[in-house]
Structure 1
Amino acid sequence: MRDETLTTVQDQTAPAEPRLGEEILAVSGLQKHFPVRKGLLQRQVAAVQAVDGLDFTVTMGETLSLVGESGCGKTTTGRLLTRLLEPTGGKIVFEGRDITHISLRAMRPLRRDVQMIFQDPYSSLNPRHTVGTIVGAPFRLQKVKTDHGIKRAVQELLELVGLNPEHYNRYPHEFSGGQRQRIGIARTLALRPKLIVADEPVSALDVSIQAQVINLLDDLQNELNLTYVMIAHDLSVVRHVSDRVAVMYLGKIVELAGRTALYERPMHPYTVALLSAVPIPDPERRTKRERIRLQGDVPSPLNPPPACRFHTRCWKAQEVCRTEEPPLVDLAPGHKVACHFPENQEAITVLPVGPVEEPVDS
């Protein structure tokens, strides 16, 4: 009787598991500056501002995609979320717990809930280990016991990602690129994580294989209630897998919106320029879409432009863009933009606030 009472009290005080649609990750003011050192004493003379003040949330069961040019800080953000890098500033809250600066020892149990899919399937797998050893490593490192042994659990994971369970004793060099990425996905799923950060999971694969891996990730999300933070640069791929999209430029988020809103009526000039470069697979299309060519190169994160970081390449830039940094604010329900002169504002449909009354049948 006493044991039952203790169990009941513990269950009541334990934090509730997040449900579908509830917030699982909250990021505020996240920064990562890499110091640049010179001289005999290795004094810091500058800092690469790879990530400089990110604010966003992720809800259970959704896919949030981070897109942008190379060097904008996408991959660094992913490594910060999984605590593979130590943040310089800001805050990361996972399931109500601040994990921004917790120790490696304290982070180790959380590795079960937060995992990462790496970009290159060729370098992320140890060529000296068999598939069974690679996929079974999380069970051994976390000392997780399975019902029918590690081998049986690994074979079930291989079957789950579309591989032959009999390949347990094979080595990575015996597989194609798409199969190696499936092995990496199986390793990620071993401990049934709640949040998966996918760092460009298909960019290193052939185009013919990319759709298969994307469909696999989508099926796994529906089957296992997974939450994704997808990092990508291919906007056409992102469109099919995302619930919301955050566009990054030089370490900052310039636009954050739902997938449909962002693709149909982008508001930030940088997003408009990115989408204008996406080819439309329609041979019967007679009118060509206007292609916006940005002038110049992306500025160095060592010395980013003041105020709005995009003003050096923006065709709408004015004096206020060079002196005042635009805040990331809601210009439409669920559509955040950091721009003084946003595009497509005339297409905004103001939604009613509060519950909508349904007509009563007479």
Structure 2
Amino acid sequence: MSERGTLAGAGAARDPLLSVQDLQKHFPVTKGLLKRQVGAVKAVDGISFDVFKGETFGLVGESGCGKTTTGRLITRLVEPTGGKIVFEGHDITHMPQGRMRPLRRDVQMIFQDPYSSLNPRHTVGAIVGAPFRIQGIKTEQGTKKAVQEILEMVGLNPEHYNRYPHEFSGGQRQRIGIARTLALKPKLIIADEPVSALDVSIQAQVVNLLEDLQNELDLTYVVIAHDLSVVRHISDRVAVMYLGKIVELADRKSLYEAPMHPYTNALLSAVPIPDVKRRKERDRIRLLGDAPSPLNPPPACRFHTRCWKAQEVCSKVEPPLLALASGHQVACHFPENAPAGGAATGAEPADGNGTQGEAAPGEGATTSS
């Protein structure tokens, strides 16, 4: 894996492997026998980001913020409501399924649950070999030999070829899922919570495996997770989502050492710290109340109902995602850790215009040690 943070600056000089532009997914809510639409769940509501070849792009946020839906949109497992998805310069937003089949060799997905993502009636050989059959790909030494080589690559015994998923542990099942993903040598892998269902000790093994595979096969990852410790270890750049919007995007070092959006600060304050002394000295930010429903999100800044820095402007004007001179992007009227002279210094709208400044803390959250 490349050195963390170096790809963020280098990306400006080259074309992205994946470009997501104002992507939207609204799930209709219907009522009555006639299925009349009475609303929409705005799972993803206008997000934009680029992913460059060879990097790991992290996507984090609370449950229900739209992370998984974003991953399924990128892989076209879900049809977008609006926006654009560009892969290797080709617009695949509404590409017909027939034309998508060859593309699926290059874009694969690791699913969150290693138990439900594997067919219990199929052997490991049939599961990992399925991509070869579906794509009609013949290998020189035969499919069985190719599958066994992939199994060995992910740390499994080639003799497991004829076993069934129920004969394996959770970590081994996730390795089987990874092996299936690698079968066609993809260029981009969407990893949806790849270690959340595993024990802590097994998580480290799977994360290290993903890093080793990236170095060996020149892979590009989009890692979707709610565990910020895992994301910090594996990612080059990180985007933070809240209620279908990206509120902050930066390289790993900048985001973890100097987070600017209050929501990002709240998430990072909840990350466990092994050092007892440091843990006691740290201020824990406790957000009041549950996250609002994406069926009826708050107006303007969607975080203002839980933000301790919110003022009147936050409920009336939506803050755009502004790009600072450093490349750090934040969507907040009153960001923290702002550059000297205010956050607007050296800032340009990433997707619109807006103003930023400093404010005294208000209501919406509490801090405790």
Give, in whole Å, the separation in 1 of the partners of 2:290 and 2:86.
35
- The DSSP-based 3-state class of the residue aligned with 2:324 is strand
Q: Partner of 1:345 in structure 2?
A: 338
Q: Partner of 1:125 in structure 2?
A: 118
- Within a 5 Å distance, the mapping from 1:164-243 to structure 2 comes to 164-243=157-236
The counterpart of 1:56, out of the listed 49, 57, 71, is: 49
TM-aligned CA deviation for residue 345 of structure 1: 1.1
Letter in 2 for 1:245: V
Cα root mean square deviation, aligned: 1.7
Q: Partner of 1:44 in structure 2?
A: 37
Is the Cα–Cα contact under 8 Å of residues 273 and 279 in structure 2 kept in the other structure? Answer: no
Is the Cα–Cα contact under 8 Å of residues 21 and 61 in structure 1 kept in the other structure? Answer: no
Q: Partner of 1:26 in structure 2?
A: 19
Give, in whole Å, the separation in 2 of the partners of 1:171 and 1:293.
44
Is the Cα–Cα contact under 8 Å of residues 182 and 213 in structure 1 kept in the other structure? Answer: yes
Q: Partner of 1:312 in structure 2?
A: 305
TM-aligned CA deviation for residue 324 of structure 1: 0.5
Letter in 2 for 1:180: R
Give, in whole Å, the separation in 2 of the partners of 1:97 and 1:305.
35
Is the Cα–Cα contact under 8 Å of residues 240 and 247 in structure 2 kept in the other structure? Answer: yes
Please say if 1:79 is aligned against 2:72. yes
Give, in whole Å, the separation in 2 of the partners of 1:279 and 1:150.
45
Give, in whole Å, the separation in 1 of the partners of 2:14 and 2:118.
34
Please say if 1:289 is aligned against 2:282. yes
Give, in whole Å, the separation in 2 of the partners of 1:204 and 1:280.
21
Over the matched positions of the two proteins, sequence identity in percent amounts to: 79
Give, in whole Å, the separation in 2 of the partners of 1:283 and 1:73.
34
Give, in whole Å, the separation in 2 of the partners of 1:325 and 1:339.
8
TM-aligned CA deviation for residue 67 of structure 1: 0.2
Give, in whole Å, the separation in 2 of the partners of 1:30 and 1:88.
8
TM-aligned CA deviation for residue 283 of structure 1: 3.2
Give, in whole Å, the separation in 1 of the partners of 2:319 and 2:218.
36
- The DSSP-based 3-state class of the residue aligned with 2:305 is coil
**Deviations for 1:2-23, whole angstroms, at most 9, x for unmatched residues?**
xxxxxxxxxxxxxxxx9x9641
The counterpart of 2:319, out of the listed 287, 310, 326, is: 326
Is the Cα–Cα contact under 8 Å of residues 56 and 234 in structure 2 kept in the other structure? Answer: yes
Letter in 1 for 2:316: T
Q: Partner of 1:280 in structure 2?
A: 273
**Deviations for 1:271-306, whole angstroms, at most 9, x for unmatched residues?**
001101112111343851001111111011011011
The counterpart of 1:99, out of the listed 70, 79, 92, is: 92
Give, in whole Å, the separation in 2 of the partners of 1:221 and 1:96.
22
Give, in whole Å, the separation in 1 of the partners of 2:298 and 2:185.
43
Letter in 2 for 1:149: G
Is the Cα–Cα contact under 8 Å of residues 21 and 60 in structure 1 kept in the other structure? Answer: no
Residue 196 and residue 21 in structure 1: after superposition, are their counterparts in 2 closer, same or farther (change >3 A)?
farther
- The DSSP-based 3-state class of the residue aligned with 1:254 is strand
- The DSSP-based 3-state class of the residue aligned with 2:286 is coil
Please say if 1:138 is aligned against 2:131. yes
Unaligned runs of 5+ in 1: 1-17, 352-362
Residue 286 and residue 226 in structure 1: after superposition, are their counterparts in 2 closer, same or farther (change >3 A)?
closer
Give, in whole Å, the separation in 1 of the partners of 2:279 and 2:300.
40
TM-aligned CA deviation for residue 331 of structure 1: 2.6
Is the Cα–Cα contact under 8 Å of residues 51 and 73 in structure 1 kept in the other structure? Answer: yes
TM-score scaled by structure 1? 0.89
Higher CA-based Rg:
1
Give, in whole Å, the separation in 1 of the partners of 2:325 and 2:184.
39
Give, in whole Å, the separation in 2 of the partners of 1:21 and 1:192.
23
Give, in whole Å, the separation in 2 of the partners of 1:147 and 1:211.
35
Q: Partner of 1:65 in structure 2?
A: 58
Q: Partner of 2:152 in structure 1?
A: 159
Give, in whole Å, the separation in 1 of the partners of 2:126 and 2:289.
48
Give, in whole Å, the separation in 1 of the partners of 2:316 and 2:92.
35
Is the Cα–Cα contact under 8 Å of residues 121 and 177 in structure 1 kept in the other structure? Answer: yes
**Deviations for 1:30-80, whole angstroms, at most 9, x for unmatched residues?**
000000000111110100000000000000000001100000000000000
Give, in whole Å, the separation in 1 of the partners of 2:263 and 2:60.
11
TM-aligned CA deviation for residue 334 of structure 1: 1.5
